[in-house]
Amino acid sequence: MNALAVDTRHRRTERGWRGGAFLLELVILLMKRLRISAISYLNTAPLMWDFEHGNSPARHAFDVSYTIPSLCAASLLDGSADIGIIPAAAYTGIPDLAILARVAIASRRAVRSILLVSKVPLEKLRTVALDTSSMTSVALLKVLFAKWWGGGRTFTTMAPDIEQMLKVNDAGLVIGDPALQIDRSQYLTYDLAEEWIRLTGKPFVFAFWAIRQAALNDAPRNLDLATVFQESRNNGLMPNSLDVIAREWAPRLGLSPGDVKNYLTENIYYSLDPDCLDGMRLFYQLAHQCGALPAAPALSFLDAAKAVVT
């Protein structure tokens, strides 16, 4: 094939692609936007990259709001959000959800941002304040006590202020950004992901994207939702993206940019792979056994081309 023919075919293909992209963007703009409820913690920043920095037409398909994990789940339950990065525990209490495949906030080692902070050694601990932001971490803590650490503790719910928590309790459970800011040299601390992995040999899944089945009717037919969220995660974990996130978040949290990047790349695991699914199923089983959560429904996934599989 001569150069002119190749160039002509290339220009026809390029015009076709641009026309297709324009039509996709137009369709998305004319449709009802899907409402995303996201978590306002550092560990979600890579997942939200394309929604905050990208130029994809898919951005126009969503309205994004930010909140804490427990309220993110509440937004899906009451229908005020269509898609949410929900605590894993919330899946047991919200009907008709599909999990967006392959993306999670999980850990295969110490996570650093889910801490039981204590004034006394674990065996002497009797009263625990629980972070109001949390669902999954509270259930995980109760599983650890019931299964391995011994029962008989008293739990109360408080805002995540460790000094206030420890004024009236032996220990406090703190999650997310407040946990990253704890001065661990002043307290005894137990990393809940690290403890789970040590005791079970399995990763722990804290959160994942889920969509209400009813909201699928409002999604653009030619928009592959699962791929949109996977690609946003992939783009957010690119080295240049992590540099931007580190510069933005380090001053907010009083951490160094290097510490932010280490947390996102070493402590958080962003894939919902088979090992993570095994760990999540075990968590659901143990949490139900000890009364921390209701029985979990079968896991249903929204995979490529919005096909729901079990």
Residue 166 has pLDDT above 70, yes or no: yes
pLDDT tens per residue, range 42-55:
999 999 999 988 67
- Give the whole-angstrom CA distance, residue 283 versus residue 214: 27
* CATH tag, 114-200: 3.40.190.10
pLDDT tens per residue, range 188-244:
999 999 999 999 999 999 999 999 998 888 777 777 899 999 999 999 999 999 999
pLDDT tens per residue, range 277-304:
999 999 999 999 999 999 999 999 986 4
- Helix (H) or strand (E) run with residue 15 in it: helix 3-30
309 conformational bin, left if phi > 0, alpha if psi -120 to 50, beta if neither: beta
Return the structure tokens found at 82. Answer: 């269509």
Helix axes 274-289 and 192-200, enclosed angle (nearest 10): 100
Domain boundaries, the chain: 16-107+204-309, 114-200
Architecture of domain 16-107+204-309 in CATH? 3-Layer(aba) Sandwich (3.40)
